Structure 1
Amino acid sequence: MTPEALDLSTALRPRLPSPLQPVEDERFSRHGIRLLLKRDDLIHPELPGNKWRKLAPNLHAAAGRPLLTFGGAYSNHLRATAAAGRLLGFETIGVVRGDELASRPLNPSLTQCAADGMRLLFVDRATYRAKEDPQVLAEILRAVPGDVYVVPEGGSNALAAQSCAALGRELHHLADVVAVACGTGGTLAGLAAGLAPGLGAPPAEGRGSVIGFPVLKGGFLAGEIRALQEKAFGGRAGDWSLDDRFHFGGYARSAPALDAFADDFEARHQLPVERVYVAKMLYGLTTLVADGAFPPGTAVAAVITGQDASR
């Protein structure tokens, strides 16, 4: 199958552009801030949000070859990749961080991956950390016969960032500030580029800045995003920044305050709040508004990047 022969829009019928939903929330309105929800979670029921945007160009490039990718035991990316394989009829291999025996019985996320036909390869944490080393990757690939197409953790490569630029274009002139949760940084890299008028240039009249809320601790993500934008766009693109204060201890970590906030947001807006990424972004954004980070009259778009598959 050639990339041209794979028509994802016909095969999967994504909802694009995704809806932009104004919501009334007094925590924002009392500061003169208009809140918009960019409902990327509604793009596709099994490949929602940034998973669709990042996977679609890589599915074209794979052109029906087996696709190998990486993720943790609760990876939304692995689950979306496995679903794509089932829906489009190609083989998927998921390299999972952690010990296989300790991971069994499989959690609901990996159970769904396996049910969708994904072959799971468990590797120890040291090997997983070094997965981008060519020798380590070659060793992993020896366990997989044939020609496979490799997609990095979270789906974040240059193709994915270029694809996520469409998200920025969909929001162009509609929001002054865009907030997005960050795991590997691919969505932010493309989103900021799509909002920007040109490489390295600030948005016209201050519109279209992006705030990323990392869900992992460590403070390493800015360098990753800069490197990804260099590969995808030839240099830094757009006006973006990161706020590292709202990871709540790291990936998939939470706290009673975050859980209570997410429950309250769901009740206010009848919106299921995905807890690993979206809840932290919304919590951070609400905190910034309360702290007076934005002037009255600012339109803020919060990107709802995914669904909570565990609830």
Structure 2
Amino acid sequence: MIQLLTPQHWKDYELLDCGDFEKLERFGNVVMIRPEPQAVWKKVLSEQEWKKAANITFKGRSATSGEWIKKNPSLPDRWHISYSNGDVSIKMRLALTSFKHVGLFPEQAVNWDYISASIRKFKTPQPKVLNLFAYTGGATMVARAAGADTTHVDSIRQVVTWANENQELSGLKDIRWLVEDALKFVKRELKRGRKYNGIILDPPAYGHGPNGEKWKLEDHIQEMMQDVVQLLDEKEHFLILNTYSLGFSSVIVENLIRTSFPSVSNLETGELFLQATSGIKLPLGVFGKFCSV
């Protein structure tokens, strides 16, 4: 069954409105305007309401870079927000980057809830979880906070350092950090005979490994899926595949999972979105996930 899922009960994040290729959102006490290529419709709120609400606006110089314009120059470039789902709590450091991101994709909180709930169901005392393309580690923090022995893999050293800061902020320790090409790491783990109870994949449409390895989603995702399912523990496991690509549908994700892991059970597929307080919905990727228990 195809589902539409959006985060619930997150006090530190709020999508206020979106449209005209922009989104108005609140992270803690910071309200910002950022570009959003999916928002092809008109804004619900007026331009005056947007300008009044926002205290930071991202102005792009190109499709991938730009600068932040602050209404008040004293506003910090870095700040912290918290997330709790009643089971685990984490804290994340946010920052104004030159490529419009702030270090967090809030729609992923739906997957965080699934991760913590799955780990709590396992009988394995300290289940092993692998987070690939792990970015600043929201899913990593949740898995570790839920009691998992967690491995975090990303190809960018600065991002892994950022994730390590989030570990400290969240009062966690003993996460395994690796600056690696995800596909190469998975192949080495297969040779080692390693097994994981949980695997999380949030691959980009395009990317590069630390040694210049090229990643293109449609060219490499089938190979990746066929490899990662072999790393899953046979008795207790979960897997999440999340993609943010305009060319991918939940049916494609379902086909990838079913052809890579024919014995899959409890498979859920669908679309992640953020529900704006203005009433509009912002789609932000598709997912496929399953858990053995």
**TM-score grouping bracket, smaller chain normalisation:** 0.3 to 0.5
**TM-score with structure 1 length normalisation?**
0.39
- Larger helix proportion, structure 1 or 2? 1
Which has the bigger relative contact order, CA under 8 A and spacing at least 6?
1
- Larger strand proportion, structure 1 or 2? 2
